[in-house]
Structure 1
Amino acid sequence: MAPLLLRGARLPDGDVRDVLLDPDSGLVARVAPPGLLPSAPGGLDLTGHLLLPAPAEPHAHLDKALTWDLAGAPPGDLPSAVAAWRAYAARVTEEDVFRRAGRTVDELCANGVTAVRTHVDLLTADGSYGDGDPLRGLRALLRLRERLRGRLRLQIAVLHVDAPDELLHRALDLGADLLGGCPHLSADPAASVERVLRVAADRGVGVDLHADETLDPGAEDLRLLARAVREGGFVPGVTASHCVSLGAVRPDEAARTAKEVAAVGIGVVTLPLTNLYLQGRGRPSSTPRGLTALRALLDAGVTVAAGGDNVRDPFNPVGRADPLETASLLVTAGHLSPDEALDAVTAGARAVLGLPAAGPYEGAVADLLAVRAQSVSEALGASCPERLVFAGGRLVSRTSVVRELY
């Protein structure tokens, strides 16, 4: 394919540059002041646009997406959401998952996402894994992954609570990329963590656990995971998602745990949209934010990513499948700077997914998002629906807006 020249784009540091993309290599070939690069047919004028690294979505639930109206509206706490989803899961079909997940991925792509890690339930109504076809959701997402090749990278993590080893191996044999789990829902969280790491090590795949999705300061999933990784010498990548309880402990304790997490290379994914919705409902006065200890983790050198988690399902009735919405919440509720928040949904998210760096820089992967904005704070604060999305140096999505005021 012919190189693609993006003219007059403003970079995150404020400089205006022309950026040459090479679709054959999928990399950014050149970055130069305007007018210095040879023009080519089919180039794009990005005057008035901010050119950013494309976001990645490090934590989605595509099999659950868009089921809020279908599954009923629970009161809004985590146990009620789990119960509502399990009841609905009894009648979920492979085609149902494929259709809803496809719609959600289209929303993610239009908003700038070029890589997604989704968790997928082993679909049973009661979690017993005994009857029915628990792998139908996984098969739907494997089909979707094939359809998305060239437009979006899709990683699939198997989400379960104490599923038999045999079922986990079947899921990996089908093509799942890594193992997930919810130790805090297990009868024996420590054994659950150790078993997932053992199976993952046997298969040479990574792990991404739902950890400490509670405001209880005594929750131990993250510490158990850090200790098990340290003692077992686990090599493939390890991610802990949620880690809400870390934000409920004393600052000195959060700092100690953060250092333990950094020492063993665990990445942490914070999920502000869903955790702000679900957590703290029993505390009507001085309601806690329900986020992990972001500053302690960053100060310790932990790779911190941020995701959207649920999109209009029993765990959260809202959500726009937009990483810039996620980043905006990290500014308002997590007290990060706009640049730190943007990093969590771009560089941090790609690092957790094990992907090379992307952005408008020579030699970087040409996964880019052009937003009609002049600064990072404007991009996060004003929603900015006009966007162009590039994956591997190719334009894969363009959203234009017509606004009429009378």
Structure 2
Amino acid sequence: MHENRETQQTPNLGPRNLLITNVRIAASENQVDVECREGKVVNLWPASSQSTVPSQKNMDPTSTETLDGLGGMMIPSLCHSHIHLDKCFILRRGGDIVRGDFLEAMAVTANAKAEFSSDTEDLLQRGRKLIYDSVECGVTSIRAHVEVDTVMGLNGIDAALKLKEEFKPVCDIQIAAFAQERLFDAVHDTEPGSNYRLLLEAIDREGVDVIGSAPYVEPSTEQAKKNIGLILEAASTRALHVDFHLDFSLDPAIEPLIYEVIAQVKKLGPHFKPRITIGHATRLQLLTPEQWRDLIHEIGDLPLTFVALPNTDTYMQGRGAVDTPLGAPRSTLRVPYLKKQHGLEVAMSVNNIENAFTPQGPLDPLALCTFGVAIFQAATTEDLENLLRSVTITSKLAIGQKDNHHDLAPNVGDPADFVILHGTRTLAQAVLNPSYDRTTIKAGVVVARRQSKRSFFPFTEG
């Protein structure tokens, strides 16, 4: 996991000013200058209106850093609203991929977990690589799922909490204690087993922000519904956010459990305040437009957000129909369509990196947008803006981040959390072909720069 990475001293997040000059922003054809102070945007000017010298903009040059964006596109910083911290970069560690289906991925991952469950240094090294690479892409917010079960114990949680503190100056990391394995040991059990007791122990750790589970792994539908109730109850008593991996299938015979989540939250009453995040939800792709309208009506003003996970969803789903004329169906929540047709904003996230659930794909959330253009057949201006919002503003909403941008263009009062895409000139290009070279800004402080090294060797004909 060691790489050639230039690491400088941890940034000082004190009350310094940052003057960002010559950047392009959404809904503007001209370059602008942006003044940030104490982590907020306080001024915007046309880049040609005044000198870029801080003192000539009534700023203290002794406490102001100037960053020349060189005409690059500046957008809100990116967010991993759903990513697995403990099982990243483990492809083939628990065995080769043979069938490629979900049950094999569960088994292979369980084998790998048995190897690294007590290896704290391995957990830390892989976690650091994920966070370093993410911040360099432009990510400043992460919801990190960490598995808790009888194999992992609390070792993954403890390692994740160390990483959360280590990277606190450059990235806001939420730790989600996650039950990937079943809470009920056998189909006839009426009470949850040891995995549930470990999960309760994990969420009492200081620094854990979220409790989550995958109800569909339970032995029966009735136990899956009880799983939902147990998670919601634990979240309510401890003021934690909730994150369900839910309805991960394309089988019309399987009952969608989103209605159970909604019903149980409503039973808890108005005192239930946590934000609820629903990952995957591929089963909902089988809903008719009328059923979608009814579902959205049922959700109403509940603090509930869906997160599509295109890399995993399209890789995993539909494997039982490989011999049909068009091959296996591929599906993930249709982000631009749901916004356009139903006004429903859906986040997108990376989910897994280099493991049996998702062997392919980079850490870059913008790569999801580019992929989305093809799988959603969506390239209008409105579509591109919705895709970009899904990995920035909507993803931060999904994880309950309080300080968030309202639009893709910066406004006075917004958090000074941005990524500048050097060489990218338009918002459309940020989705269709984003540049590799980037500068990440967190709370008005430059926390990462990613630069490509280019060489072109002379050649002669003949």
Determine if the TM-score, normalized by the shorter chain, exceeds 0.5: yes
Does the 8 A contact of 1:123 with 1:136 survive in 2?
A: no
Partner of 1:10: 24
Residues 177, 210 of structure 2: 8 Å contact kept: yes
Contact 1:258 1:296 in 2 (8 A): no
Residue 71, structure 1, aligned to residue 102, structure 2: no
Q: Which has the larger radius of gyration?
A: 2
Match for residue 410 of structure 2? 360
SS at match of 1:69: coil
Partner residue, 2:427: 376
Q: Which amino acid aligns with 1:219?
A: E
Deviation at 1:172, TM superposition (A): 1.4
Task: Tell me the equivalent position of 2:111.
Answer: 87
* Bigger mean CA deviation after superposition, 36-45 or 106-115: 36-45
Structure 1 segments unaligned to the other structure (5+ residues): 126-132
1:254-276 deviation per Cα after TM superposition (whole angstroms, max 9, x unaligned):
33223323442311100001111
Distance 2:20 2:165 in 1: 29
Matched, 1:401 2:452: yes
Matched AA of 1:19: V
Distance 1:366 1:206 in 2: 25
Which aligned pairs between 1:237-276 and structure 2 lie closer than 5 A? 237-276=275-314
Match of 1:223 in 2: 259
Matched, 1:99 2:130: no
Instruction: Among all aligned residue pairs of Structure 1 and Structure 2, give the percentage whose two residues are the same amino acid.
Output: 26
* Cα offset, 1:314, TM superposition: 1.6
What SS does the aligned partner of 1:380 have? helix
Within-5 A mapping of 1:105-184 = 105-125=131-151, 134-160=153-179, 161-162=182-183, 164-175=195-206, 176-184=208-216
Pairwise CA distance, 1:219:
3.3
Q: Does 1:192 align with 2:227?
A: yes
CA apart distance, 1:36: 3.9
Q: Is the 8 A contact 1:9 1:48 kept in 2?
A: yes
Residues 1:313 and 2:313 aligned together? no
- Name the aligned partner's letter for residue 287 of structure 2: V
Distance of aligned partners of 1:73 and 1:257 in 2 relative to their CA distance in 1, 3 Å threshold: farther
TM-score using structure 2 length? 0.82
* Counterparts in 2 of 1:279 and 1:63: CA distance versus 1, 3 Å: same
Contact 2:140–2:171, Cα closer than 8 Å, also in 1: yes
Q: TM-score, normalised by structure 1?
A: 0.92
- SS in structure 2 opposite 1:145? helix
Q: Aligned partners of 1:259, 1:298: CA distance in 2, in Å?
A: 16
**Aligned residue type for 1:152:** C
Aligned length: 397
Match of 1:403, SS state, is coil
Can you list the C-alpha shifts for 1:318-350, whole angstroms capped at 9, x where unaligned? 221101011222222134411110000011011
Q: Which has the larger displacement, 258-267 or 65-74?
A: 258-267
Counterpart code for 1:98: L
Label 1:362 to 1:67 Cα distance change in 2 as closer, same or farther (>3 A): same
CA distance in 2, matches of 1:72, 1:251: 42
Amino acid at match of 1:186: E
Aligned-partner Cα distance in 1 for 2:332–2:297: 18
Deviates more, 1:364-373 or 1:173-182: 173-182
User: Within 2, Cα distance between the matches of 1:367 and 1:346?
Assistant: 10
Deviation of the 1:184 alpha carbon: 0.8
1:53 — aligned with what? Answer: 76
The equivalent residue for 2:273 is: 235
CA distance in 2, matches of 1:298, 1:194: 33
